[in-house]
Amino acid sequence: MATKTYHGSCHCGQVRYEADIDLAKGTGKCNCTFCTKARAWSAHVKPNAFRLVSGKDALVGYHKHPGAPVKFACKSCAVRTHATGTGEWMGGDFVSVFVNTLDDVDPDELAAAPVRYFDGLHDNWMNAPKDVRTL
């Protein structure tokens, strides 16, 4: 598989984006308190591979502490579409695209995408947590 431009949106359609993602490079799930509660599943891209097409004014950002990525959700329908952050462990600035908001991804593509697990709960980003069954 190669990089492909996907289109995504929130539930009500106010927030729309495009993202250039190579799903064969993998996706991620984390056990931090946010990702566990949100059941977040994301693909990480560099900022220039993500384009917000519409809905900038419809977005609200959230992060628990200044070092955490900012997760963006639609003010109307509350669906989280993406997050932005920076981290040495991610190679600098990144955008996490929540793959459940991709509108034109084939379910077989997602099922075939490798999943990497991150122990964000313990700031141990380079290793998987001991238990990934519920992520």
Report how far residue 34's alpha carbon sits from residue 63's, in angstroms, rounded to the nearest whole number. Answer: 9
The predicted-structure confidence for 97-110, as pLDDT tens digits, reads as follows: 999 999 999 999 99
Instruction: Say which CATH architecture domain 4-99 belongs to.
Output: Beta Complex (2.170)
Question: 15 with 54: CB under 8 angstroms?
Answer: yes
Predicted confidence at residue 56, as pLDDT, reads 97
The predicted-structure confidence for 45-83, as pLDDT tens digits, reads as follows: 999 999 999 999 999 999 988 888 999 999 999 999 999
Q: What pTM was estimated for this model as a whole?
A: 0.92
Tokens of 67: 């070092």
Half-sphere exposure of 43 (CA within 13 A, CB side): 26
Give every strand in the sheet of 16-21, ordered side by side.
4-9, 16-21, 50-54
Which of 127, 106, 131 minimizes the C-alpha distance to 118? 127
Average pLDDT over the chain, rounded to an integer: 94
Helix, coil or strand: residue 80? strand
* Residue boundaries of the structural domains of the chain: 4-99
